[in-house]
Structure 1
Amino acid sequence: MPQSVLGHGSLHTTAGPPTRFQDVVGQFPQLKTYNHACAVFRLADDVTQDTVIATLKGGLEKLISKVPWLGEQVVHEGQEKGNSGVIKTVPLPQGTSVDKLIRVKDCTDICPSYEEIVVKGGPATMLDGNVLCPFPGYPFGYDVAKIGFAPVVVIQANFIKGGVILNFSNQHNVMDTSGMFVFIALLTTLLQGKELPQTYIDQANLDRAKVIPLLDPGQPIRDHSHLLRSSMTPARPPPAGLPASPFHWAFFRLSRPAIPQIKAAASHKQDWGSSVAFISSNDAVSAFYWKRLGAVRVANGSVDLSAKSKFSRAIDIRAAVGCPPGYMGQMIYHAATELTYRELAAPETTLSAVAARLRASLNESANEWAVRSYATFLAGIPDKGALVYGGGLNPALDVGASSVSQLLTGTLDFGPLLGKPDLIRRPNMTPVGGLMYILPPDAGSGDTPVLVCLSERDLEGLRADAEWSAVTEYIG
């Protein structure tokens, strides 16, 4: 079992029956959607679709027997004027079996073949989310009247020529991306014929109400008023005269040797400032992308030099509050850093300085007091619809970044039938301008896929940027 996905961690012990749903950070109505990840496998000629489905069903049934809430549905109850209600899990509709959590689709005539996808490096253009995914993804919600019920997790097996694409979907209020990979890791353990250690079972069933203790009344609390929809300022329009440029998702592949080189270039301590003592590879890569994108946008005239760019990083807050890594619930907070485009594009603004700014912002957010402040603030807002998840994003100026590059998914083994996936990708969903995902390294090359959603103008500029193209390969 990959320790980078499932660590032993610590485990809270609590008295009394679990309240099951009273977490706070997962109550955003904006998260009433599905998160998706695809794993691409070669299939031997003698392996039938029925065998694949039976194997997946057997593994999922065993997992649900140990972690029952994974086999439940998500409901939204108690909504009224001024109160967004509660989003929680309850048992599936009566008479519904685990079969409904595994979907099957024959895509041999509507999707590229296994060979085509792997040879091309798994481009977004070959992974159509409208085909591969059973439900919509962020920012679009689902309609229970249309889908029947909202399962916590669904696996869709998409059979293509020469292989199969397993799409894993999770309801986003009750599970974040790290949680999805924990789910996959637990499933692969069972598919290998192994038993789940009790430690992992306990972590997966941890009471959501006890994960982030709220601050006591009167304790100092961090300001989170920027999350209020009423505090949002209108998006700044782009400079006049530029034609419209639609947004698209595209993958770049960041070469394995380049990552330590980028980190070394961001490690000039004289540029860090006194509050920063460490720079991670993720800090460095994020700073490099932000700085190159800033230079591209200044060069193509799509931004004013005085305009501010916000780099908002989604951060896993489990460690900050002593929550074990095997807990699958929604545990995302955000660290935001702002620079003007004049600062981003200036040669004197070094990569080390930008990386240090990102690290300083992360340090201010990834600590127990900040996380408990966040949960306490959210708990005090009856109508979560009055909030903007993550504080909002201007697609023409900002970057919303999320990374699971630390997860060594190349160690995931789906058992003797499927083995290890050749590629793990996010499917091509509705464009959300400004988002950026750093995925786990590819198993074979060790190169890191970076998925971005940019305007055609910015995407062309980034592909042509000498510094960016020196360390990345455009996949599409």
Structure 2
Amino acid sequence: MADLDTKAPACLAPISSDDAANMDIGVLGQQPGMQIYTQITYCYAVPDGNSRRRAHIVSTLQNGLARLAAAFPWLAGRVAYVEDDAAAAAAAAEGSGRYRFRPLAATPRLVVKDLATVAPALTMDALRQADFPFRLLDEAVVAPRRTLPGNPDEAHLASTDTPVLLVQAGFVPGGLLLTFAAHHATMDMAGEGEVIRWLHKACRGEPFTDEELAAGNCDRRHVVPLLAADDGDPAQYIPEQLVPVVSNHDASPSDTPTENWEVRAPAPCSWVYFAFSRTSLDAIKVAATATLPPTASFVSTNDALTAFLWQAVLRARRPRLVAHNNATTTVSSTLARAVDVRACLGIPASYPALVQTMTIHTTTVDDVCTAPLGDLAARLRAALAPAHLRQRTRALATFLDRGPHAQRDVRLSFVGPVDPAAGGLMLSSWTAVPGYALDFGLGLGPAEAVRRPAFVPAVESLGYLMPTAADGSVAAGLCLRDADVARMRADETFTALARFVG
């Protein structure tokens, strides 16, 4: 077998503006489950009673979006599923097409709303006093597009209305809620953060660097290197993410917008934030480091916080799981953790496409609850070994590149065997995403908060770590059953270091 660890990724091949507006979105974006939108909201204080200031904000954003689209035309486009003409001519199997960019407009869509008319109680002061909770940040109000397709209030949207990027400037008394919604198949959150940073530069009239232009406008098809023929079946490297196909009548990729994201919660669930101060994060890191196994010498704060949350969620669920199963010694718990793999593949951090994989960790509920924090964090860290991530990512890319017709007996599950109603947890960290320092040349200073809005239907066991604030604090957003949240709020081990926001 060829050495999987020494293959360098293809260089970022520059392409013309016309080609960039019609290019392939990239191999990892070909997953049907990624046809959703990722939202993030930047909250700014704005003095009341100044219509000229509002006009300045809107014009600055409009001009910035125009500069952004001039440099990166695909950002003003849409996502389309395009059948392979050659394959169709040869009567190839269904699913032979690819998701590609297609032109849509001259600039990304900017929605301007006076939110005081639709949500009178939503004010900057109310948000500030409550610490910017999910309950005040409803996607239906603050975002230009819902996360998941199929909501009745978006039934009027055409199937071709799939813009790459939308921006909403929502004005509330005393503030601006600037929300970005990016098509997840075209960029992960690291990529979206880079695009948002580019808009910050564009609004300020700053030029893009040669590296940014090269990373943004390049042939995405071959950036993630595939396995060689003698590397074997890609399925052997990602067995946790492949599940048997139970029907031969599955919808084609163009008709299957989501996969794991359409899970309806079987019990009342809510989106809630828990806040972790810099002091609390340091304490969690110290506790994890003090309980590392002999085989480990380092875990990051992110590893430790992820393990801390995994344990807290499972402790809250344990009484319910015991009641249903008599014991939790054999009940499995799977954590699916999203990982940015640019660095281990030699891809520039400024490359904005979807370049993430999942590390899948399965053990028992009892093990999660009773293991030393450092031991659990060390397991998470071990899965981030560059050679391991390169192998898994290249296998995932190869599996996707071959198309659904290549392996009809299995399909890809991005999060693996997660059971959201039992021991499952899906977590994505946005802590490194540019956030509070961005001002977009609006004259408002830094953002007071950066949050993900709440979305429906509730996806139980899904969680996000928000961008790190200027004071080093991090907000963790989780979608959990209300009963589990109540138990977490009563868990003294957890609340000694976490503050409930809601």
Alignment TM class, shorter chain as reference: 0.7 to 0.9
Secondary structure at the aligned position of 2:27 is classed as coil
- Mean Cα displacement is larger for which, 166-175 or 137-146? 137-146
1:53 equivalent in structure 2: 58
TM-fit CA distance, 1:453: 0.5
TM-fit CA distance, 1:140: 5.5
Q: Is the 8 A contact 1:158 1:165 kept in 2?
A: yes
1:102 equivalent in structure 2: 110
TM-fit CA distance, 1:414: 1.7
What does 1:95-174 correspond to in 2, within 5 Å? 96-98=105-107, 101-111=109-119, 112-138=122-148, 145-146=157-158, 149-174=161-186
2:263 equivalent in structure 1: none
Query: Alignment identity in percent?
Result: 27
TM-fit CA distance, 1:211: 1.1
Distance 2:343 2:214 in 1: 17
1:70 equivalent in structure 2: 75
Question: Is the counterpart of residue 272 in structure 1 residue 284 in structure 2?
Answer: no
2:338 equivalent in structure 1: 314
1:34 equivalent in structure 2: 37
Within the candidate set 394, 413, 416, 1:391 is matched to 416
Q: Is the 8 A contact 1:39 1:166 kept in 2?
A: yes
- Mean Cα displacement is larger for which, 359-368 or 24-33? 359-368
2:249 equivalent in structure 1: none
Q: Is the 8 A contact 1:70 1:153 kept in 2?
A: yes
Distance 1:58 1:15 in 2: 25
Distance 2:369 2:238 in 1: 29
TM-fit CA distance, 1:210: 2.3
TM-fit CA distance, 1:298: 1.6
Within the candidate set 459, 463, 466, 2:489 is matched to 463
Distance 2:429 2:147 in 1: 18
Distance 2:467 2:124 in 1: 20
1:328 equivalent in structure 2: 352
TM-fit CA distance, 1:145: 4.7
> CA 1:307–1:352 in 2, change beyond 3 Å: closer, same or farther?
same
Distance 1:350 1:27 in 2: 39
1:44 equivalent in structure 2: 47
Distance 1:461 1:104 in 2: 40
TM-fit CA distance, 1:392: 5.0
TM-fit CA distance, 1:416: 4.3
TM-fit CA distance, 1:417: 2.8
User: Mind listing any 5+ residue stretches in structure 2 that lack a counterpart?
Assistant: 1-8, 247-259, 261-265
What does 1:396-435 correspond to in 2, within 5 Å? 396=421, 397-430=423-456, 431-435=458-462
Deviations 1:281-325, CA, capped at 9 Å, x for gaps: 111001111112222222454664121100110000111111111
Within the candidate set 301, 305, 314, 1:285 is matched to 305
> CA 1:13–1:168 in 2, change beyond 3 Å: closer, same or farther?
closer
Q: Is the 8 A contact 1:262 1:284 kept in 2?
A: yes
Q: Is the 8 A contact 1:321 1:368 kept in 2?
A: yes
1:3 equivalent in structure 2: none
Q: Is the 8 A contact 1:229 1:388 kept in 2?
A: yes
Secondary structure at the aligned position of 1:415 is classed as coil
Secondary structure at the aligned position of 2:382 is classed as helix
Distance 2:478 2:432 in 1: 18
> CA 1:365–1:380 in 2, change beyond 3 Å: closer, same or farther?
farther
Q: Is the 8 A contact 1:297 1:303 kept in 2?
A: no
Secondary structure at the aligned position of 1:252 is classed as strand
Q: How many residues align?
A: 449
TM-fit CA distance, 1:337: 0.7
Secondary structure at the aligned position of 2:237 is classed as coil
Deviations 1:308-358, CA, capped at 9 Å, x for gaps: 100110000111111111111111100011121121222xx2111111111
1:12 equivalent in structure 2: 11
Distance 1:366 1:223 in 2: 9
- Mean Cα displacement is larger for which, 411-420 or 201-210? 411-420
RMSD: 2.7
Q: Is the 8 A contact 1:364 1:370 kept in 2?
A: no
Q: Is the 8 A contact 2:15 2:217 kept in 1?
A: no
Secondary structure at the aligned position of 2:196 is classed as helix
> CA 1:369–1:245 in 2, change beyond 3 Å: closer, same or farther?
closer
Distance 1:406 1:462 in 2: 26
Q: Is the 8 A contact 1:316 1:332 kept in 2?
A: yes
Distance 1:167 1:286 in 2: 26
Q: Is the 8 A contact 2:66 2:106 kept in 1?
A: no
> CA 1:16–1:405 in 2, change beyond 3 Å: closer, same or farther?
closer
Q: Is the 8 A contact 2:83 2:97 kept in 1?
A: yes
Distance 1:245 1:183 in 2: 37
2:464 equivalent in structure 1: 437
> CA 1:53–1:468 in 2, change beyond 3 Å: closer, same or farther?
same
> CA 1:449–1:343 in 2, change beyond 3 Å: closer, same or farther?
same
Distance 2:116 2:318 in 1: 44
TM-fit CA distance, 1:147: 6.9
Q: Is the 8 A contact 1:144 1:150 kept in 2?
A: no
1:224 equivalent in structure 2: 238
> CA 1:341–1:211 in 2, change beyond 3 Å: closer, same or farther?
same
Amino acid at match of 1:105: K
Distance 2:442 2:80 in 1: 37
Secondary structure at the aligned position of 1:60 is classed as helix
1:202 equivalent in structure 2: 214
> CA 1:119–1:102 in 2, change beyond 3 Å: closer, same or farther?
same
Distance 1:362 1:139 in 2: 32
TM-fit CA distance, 1:186: 0.9
Deviations 1:119-142, CA, capped at 9 Å, x for gaps: 211000000111122222147587
Distance 1:11 1:197 in 2: 21
